Amino acid sequence: MRTLLVIGLSWAIGLALTAHARNEPEPRPASALAQEFSQARARRIQQQLVGDGTPRAIGSAANLAAVQRISTQLTQLGLQPALQQRLACAQSRCGNITNLVARVEGRQPGSVLLVAHHDSVEASPGASDDAAGVAVLLETARALLAGPSLRHGVILLISDGEEVGSLGATAFATDHPWMRDVAAVINVDNGGTSGLSLLYGTGVGNLGVVDTYARVVPHPASSSVLAIGHAYLPRASDFSVFAARGLPGLDLAFAGDEALYHTALDTVERTHPGSLQHEGDCVLALTRALAAGDLQHLVSVDAAWFDLFGRWVVRWPAVWSLPLALVALGLLALTMRRLRMPPMAAASALAAALLATLASGLLAVVTQLVLRRLALIPADYIRAPYWLVLAMLGVGVLCVVAVSGRLVRVEPAALELGVWCTWTLGAVTTALVLPGASVLFLPTALTASVARVLLGHSRYAATLTSAAAAIALAAAWFPAWALAPDTFGLSALVVFAAPAAWIGSLLLPGLASLSARQRRWLMLTTSSVVLVGLGGHALARKFDAASPQRVNVIAYTDATARRSVAIVDTTWGSARAAAPAPMRAALAKLASRTPEDSAPFAWSSTPMLFASLAELTQPTPAITVHVEASHSEATTLRVQLAPSVRRLLVLANEPAPIASLRIGTRRWPSVLRPGRHGSRYRTWGLYAPAADSMLKLEWDSAQHAATELTFVADMPELPDSFRALLDSRPSWAVASQSGDRSVVSLRLRP
């Protein structure tokens, strides 16, 4: 029991230190020293960039107006801004982008590239994502110019088209002459409206930049586990463009309140002043350090690292992880030999820890599937996720208590050493497979093994070792784990339950020493926690104005079939919520029929709520296509679009004998996507398209007469007849991502 209390107290201290470490700093006023970063000064820039809140989607008038405002700001700083305008392509998308670049000259060759994007998604003012990032760069440039001259120069890239595939960053990296001088990159791109600015990603050979980060950032918040997790999430930023080219750098973002990400609620008022201040402090300190350092030798080996409660960054070359884990294993083996402990104790502890972790993970997956089926997880981000998080933590602890009953015959001292061997084997495994993830196991294993050797036969050796290891575990796990609700939402309950069980393995010796009655009482208590969490989740409101449901209204017209459809789209991430009842009723009234729930677009398998309309919503054509020339090897098409069209898709139902599609002389990349009823479509996307474009289809077979192309135009507008449907959207629902829009499709056999 004493060991359980000591571990619990250590974890409580760790939780308190973690919570304190995640407090945002005090924002500085506009009267702050000229060489310091001031949130108040950056906030004014952010407000000017956002303006009246009109989304700054690529190609829009608001986008170009923002470019002009940024250019004016740079000119007032004494810099000479320049535009980079061109058609850029990345992955399956192309777009006409407008980048803005400027530079602060240095005394020596080599430059630090600062990147933020000025565009937003169609549905959002983009105050945090990423007007805040642009404001941070401009305030950083002002502070740099107020100080002494720099050893290395600083290039500012205010990119366009990030939200549609990092098109602006790709254009700069591919074509701009300044790219040859870039030696390091700092990207600022936020995924929420609050919290500390986290170091989310680095390039290859990152020990140099991590060491710089550790030395100069006043309030570090990062972990190599966070960087690994971010790399596997389906979210790419402009930083990935430069990391793919082997450049070292840092990808920074604050990501609290992610429920507001890419929605109309991403406003200046909701951007936390402390988040802006912390991000600016990080960027300014890092830029000064990199610009003053040796940029030629910045790339070294990969690092493993974590911040120690926001005070310091513990780091080491990742290649050291395996030797250090083997040292820990050797020390534990020595201790077990000195104390004459049977090796089977380690096997018992390992089996118990793995069984509890696997069982809790399986229960979490089953729970998620059941709750999805019952529509009790309507979205990844909801108003009160912590009921379900509590339930999953309870599941993890419940599994640990359950397996501990199998260990009552194992001597407590041997079981304790077996637990440390289990953690050490975890460190060895991650060091071999994913060295950066060894930070989750190595600090605990190394602390326990060293403490056990130093304490030897001391009466309190087991208790003190458990206390030290529990603190080390809290330092490595709790800060990264605390980010899981904002990072994953409720998309993967297993990230709460399985780690809870693995962390709970530290409790196995203490739990095994309890009486059967005490363990039953603990199981009853943890079962009650699980039930309270599940019940609280079931009864809690899922959305409110601060954590809204994402609902887009779409007017779709098939110009070929002369048919129009009204759509209510509630899909976001891995979840799809039911349409709000008022909107379902308004949709039925608009169409004078009961709505259907299936995939309305032939080229997409995503189900939506829709109803066919009696009249066309687009009586005038938004898109026309003419065959200008055609022969067995190629066909030239002229595509004319209405001025309001923001995106053009070209789709071909596979298999199609198309070798390539070109815009002018440029080859247009494509991607295969699933369509309705098991079909597959090759898809080309063009953002901010010209009103009049020439496309060239190159055939890989002369037998192409039956090939049908679908042209799809998106416009950020809705017909007047949709007003009642829009007005029926509740106060706790909001448009997001591509937003409310009209979609027109046209089929053609060229």
pLDDT in tens, 162-178: 999 999 999 999 999 99
Residues of the chain with pLDDT under 50: none
- DSSP assignment, residue 339? T
What is the number of other CB atoms lying within 10 angstroms of the CB of residue 557? 24
- Specify the pTM: 0.93
Q: For residue 619, with 0-12 CB atoms within 10 Å meaning exposed, 13-18 middle and 19 or more buried, which class applies?
A: exposed
Beta strands 680-687 and 93-104, pairing class: parallel
What's the rounded Cα separation, in Å, for the pair 123 and 103?
Answer: 32
Token pair of 483 as six digits: 């980010």
- DSSP assignment string, 119-134: ---TT---IIIIIIHH
Which runs of E-coded beta strand occur in 329-416? none
Six-digit token pair at 458?
């001391």
Are the C-beta atoms of 136 and 42 separated by less than 8 Å?
yes
DSSP string, 13-51: HHHHHHHHHTPPPPPP-TTS-TTS--HHHHHHHHHHHHT
pLDDT (0 to 100) of residue 233: 66
Are residues 173 and 188 in contact, defined by beta-carbon separation less than 8 angstroms? no
Report how many helices (DSSP H) and strands (DSSP E) the chain contains, helices first.
21, 27
What's the confidence (pLDDT) of residue 732?
94
Bridge partners for 556 per DSSP: 565, 743
The residues that bridge with 647 in the sheet, in sequence order, are 687, 714
| Consecutive H or E run containing 425 | helix 412-433
Q: Are 89 and 666 in contact (CB under 8 A)?
A: yes
**pLDDT for 704:** 65
pLDDT value for 481: 85
Contact 688, 617 (CB under 8 A): no
Question: What values do phi and psi take at 738, rounded to 5?
Answer: -75, -15
Structure confidence at residue 235 (pLDDT): 65
Contacts 24+ apart (CB under 8 A), 675-679: 675/602, 675/603, 675/604, 675/605, 676/599, 676/601, 676/602, 676/603, 676/604, 676/605, 679/602, 679/653, 679/654
Q: What is the pLDDT of residue 456?
A: 76
Considering the domain 31-300 in this protein, what is its CATH number?
3.40.630.10
Residue 705: the pLDDT is: 64
For the chain, residues classed under CATH 3.40.630.10 are 31-300
Instruction: Tell me how far apart the alpha carbons of residues 67 and 382 are, in angstroms, rounded to a whole number.
Output: 35
Give, in degrees to the nearest 5, the angle at Cα 509 between 503 and 510.
90
255 and 195 Cβ atoms separated by less than 8 Å: yes
